[in-house]
Structure 1
Amino acid sequence: MPKARKHKRKAPVTAVAAASDHAAQQASSSSSRPQATRTTIRRFHVLIKRQAQLQQIVHGSNAESQSTKTELARVEQEIEDLGGLAAYQRMSTIGQGKDRGGGSEKVLISWMRDMGLHEPPTRTAGRLRLLEVGALKADNYASCQTWIDVSPIDLHAQHPDIREQDFLLMDPDEHREKWDVISLSLVLNFPPNPKDRGQMLCLAHTMLRPDGLLFVALPLPCILNSRYMTPDHFDGLMRSIGFEQVHTRWKEGGKMAYWLYRRRPQPASTTYQDHLLYKKKTVFRQGDRNNFVILL
């Protein structure tokens, strides 16, 4: 068996067990301060990545290491002590509050209004069908209900109006060209496998109608401080799938980056090198960087 890699990978959200209500309430209370929220969320990400690496070692080896199993138990206990996925989602919801600038849906709504999508001449076929992936709140688009028909989904739904659904497990044939808009806000940075991130984008392309819109929101360090990702590389990757950039918003020193893409026909690969470019890691930066990457 090959040795475990040093760089740790994130685990699927479904791999994190929900903790007790008491622990979740403690984490929620401590997350009322912005710095505490950010620190705890970062710790969650570190633990989840380590959990994924240890699970791969345990499940992929016939000769299970007791020390690995012990460390895995310790990591999972710390995740539970922090409140589990329920606490993580609660803190993320707090971070979307109006007192902290609101959620990323404000950016998407603003862009769609600028494009005139809220006006009747544009909506000859009725309300826009929007699939909100990773929804933490059920009413993010309540102010737009006259022109947006939103379907919120999440791996671990926190509200009865949010459907519990893994986006990667949605039937591509059933949803082919069904949606006018798909929102992937703080979603691409969560799957542990870089190829799952690429699969999310390809699935979105399949599920969007011709000229449909894909909204992507990522922490800014994913593209500005990664060894394997830059804004130009990300845009090239999106073009290779069949997306044309419509809007983007981020600034040096900021925390978030936003993009709006329009679905176009998938281009044919031109050369072998073009084919490989987004299927392997290309090192753009050295030094103390993160390992965020999307692979097709």
Structure 2
Amino acid sequence: MPKTRKKKIPVTNTNKASSSSTPTSSRTVIRRFHVLLKKQGQLRNTSSANAEALGEIEREIEELGGLAAYQRMSSIGQGNDRGGGSEKVLMQWLIDMGLRKREEAKGKMRLLEVGALKPDNYRTCMSWIDTTPMDLRSRHPSIIEQDFLLMDEDENRSKWDIISLSLVVNFVPDPRDRGRMLCLAHSMLVPDGLLFLALPLPCVENSRYMTFDKLQSLMNVLGFTEVQRKWKKGGKMAYWLYRKSESDHKPLDEYRKKNVCRQGDRNNFVILLP
């Protein structure tokens, strides 16, 4: 009988994630989660789903520590010793736009922070921003446990001044759910509301199906006008701030199917309209 090869458990599998975790190990487990969740979603959406393959993927997800491990690694990456979270970029943009003074005239801005790993990311802005943090799996009583894609669209229509989707869209396995997430954000924002989008830079810079121009065109079709953009060559992250506007573009089939933009060794990140 052949010897069964024991599957190697990644070194990132630990229930004691702390600031001692290295940036490399954090990025490794996060990237692996993205791959596994994408495969899981693909198998679940096929009529002839391979139960054995699906079970193997789910076992590896558990070996990695489940969603809790992903959250721990992401939370560590937001620590001050790692340069802080993306909320610093958003807060500075809002300050530069003069919105800190808005409270005197219109009251606090309502911010929905999707994928919040900490309850107090915007504590320094409490005087002018009223933040509602939420995540798929809450790690704190002050974080609402909620799937953004399952939020009641009618109850939230034109409710939020700002919606933050930082390292959220790329974690959604289904490309069409990524597009639906952006559509929901547009519906939930007040007129002229702001959408903060943060993605790993390779999602746009090194994708087979996505480029900066393609993302810009897609956002215009959805009814978003770019206000700010920040990224640097060789960096790890890209940030955008969009203002809600009325779309005068008719959605085309090109946004509903994958179209190759680059050849070569690329990743497969894409956002598709539902």
Q: TM-score, normalised by structure 1?
A: 0.84
1:234 aligns with 2:215: yes
Q: Which residue of 2 aligns with 1:278?
A: 255
Contact 2:34 2:173 in 1 (8 A): no
Contact 2:220 2:249 in 1 (8 A): no
Bigger drift between 39-48 and 215-224 goes to 39-48
Q: Which residue of 1 aligns with 2:105?
A: 124
1:251, CA displacement in angstroms? 1.1
Q: Which residue of 1 aligns with 2:10?
A: none
Contact 1:31 1:91 in 2 (8 A): no
The alignment-based identity, stated in percent, is: 63
1:259 aligns with 2:236: no
1:195, CA displacement in angstroms? 1.2
Which amino acid in 1 is paired with 2:15? Answer: Q
Which amino acid in 2 is paired with 1:172? Answer: E
Measured on the aligned residues, the alpha-carbon RMSD in Å equals 1.7
Choose the corresponding residue for 2:28, options 16, 31, 39: 39
Bigger drift between 30-39 and 93-102 goes to 30-39
1:134 aligns with 2:111: no
- Equivalences for 1:164-175 in 2 at 5 Å? 164-175=145-156
Distance 1:30 1:107 in 2: 22
Distance 1:262 1:190 in 2: 23
1:83, CA displacement in angstroms? 0.9
- Compared CA separation, residues 210 and 40, structure 1 to 2 (3 A): same
Unaligned runs of 5+ in 1: 1-22
Aligned length: 261
Contact 1:227 1:292 in 2 (8 A): yes
Unaligned runs of 5+ in 2: 1-12
1:288 aligns with 2:269: no
1:29, CA displacement in angstroms? 5.2
Choose the corresponding residue for 2:141, options 149, 156, 160: 160
SS at match of 2:241: strand
- Equivalences for 1:84-103 in 2 at 5 Å? 84-103=66-85
- Equivalences for 1:200-239 in 2 at 5 Å? 200-239=181-220
Contact 2:41 2:174 in 1 (8 A): no
Q: Which residue of 2 aligns with 1:18?
A: none
1:244, CA displacement in angstroms? 0.6
1:176, CA displacement in angstroms? 1.1
Distance 1:133 1:43 in 2: 21
Q: TM-score, normalised by structure 2?
A: 0.90
